[in-house]
Amino acid sequence: MRFEMSRAGPFMRHLSVHRGDIATDGAIRLMARNGTGGVTLRSLADEFNCTPQAVRQWFGGTDGMWQQIAMRFGQRWFVSLTDVFRIDPGRSSPWPRRPHHLLPFDAEEIAATRAWLAMTQLARDDESIGRILAEWEAREVEVVTDYAEQLDLALDPINVDMLVAVVRGLRHAVCAIERPMALARAHAILAHALALMPRTASPRSDGDLTLF
């Protein structure tokens, strides 16, 4: 299965002239196709029709390049999780926030999610990248907690951790190279998991509050 991203997708900052944003655009596309191993000074230079020396000069070396990419991609990832217009940008009013916003919705978002998973894998082996991504992953847990609260789920740490684990596991499943899980099935599994989770004693009066 081949993962491709457009140059104008929701994770891109194609109107920015900042070199860090430009390089992150290229890195996300490369990671979506080939993982972090596909991102080198040479491959980024090829993306932007310049020399590897020029890319090195932008960041002061490979370590600086990865730190910039991790910070900027983490920020974009967090923003995407809280973007209530993400599913349908043409809507005049936003969709209510739901835990299903934590999963990708189409092939473009699967590609971006695959790039994010590649970054988290790199963070396990690189302490500086790990520190940067740990901050964004902690904020992701806050988003999960907020979504769970809107569904009147019992917010004890075990339930929140369980929901985070389900979401992250489903991301891996839909991004698998071989026999990936269908998006519809992933969203159905998340809905089933949410339905099984305990609720607070005093549910909201919102009659239209649903899992989606």
For 126-143, the pLDDT digits (tens) are 999 999 999 999 999 998
CA distance 67 to 80: 20
In the structure, what pLDDT confidence band is assigned to residue 99 with cuts at 50, 70 and 90? confident
Residue 35 has pLDDT above 60, yes or no: yes
CA distance 195 to 205: 18
CA distance 183 to 189: 10
In the structure, what pLDDT confidence band is assigned to residue 201 with cuts at 50, 70 and 90? low
How many DSSP H helices and E strands does the chain contain?
8, 0
pLDDT of residue 202: 58
Both tokens of 156, joined, read: 């004890």
Report domain extents, the chain. Answer: 63-196
Q: Which residues in the chain belong to E strands, given as ranges?
A: none
Task: Kindly report, residue by residue over 65-92, the tens digit of the pLDDT.
Answer: 899 899 999 998 888 887 755 555 454 4
pLDDT of residue 56: 87
CA distance 190 to 181: 13
Kindly report the pTM of this predicted structure: 0.78
Which residue has tokens 């971006």? 112
Residue 211 has pLDDT above 60, yes or no: no
CA distance 97 to 211: 9
Length, in residues, of the chain: 212
Helix axes 19-34, 52-59, angle to 10 degrees: 120
pLDDT of residue 3: 47
pLDDT of residue 62: 87
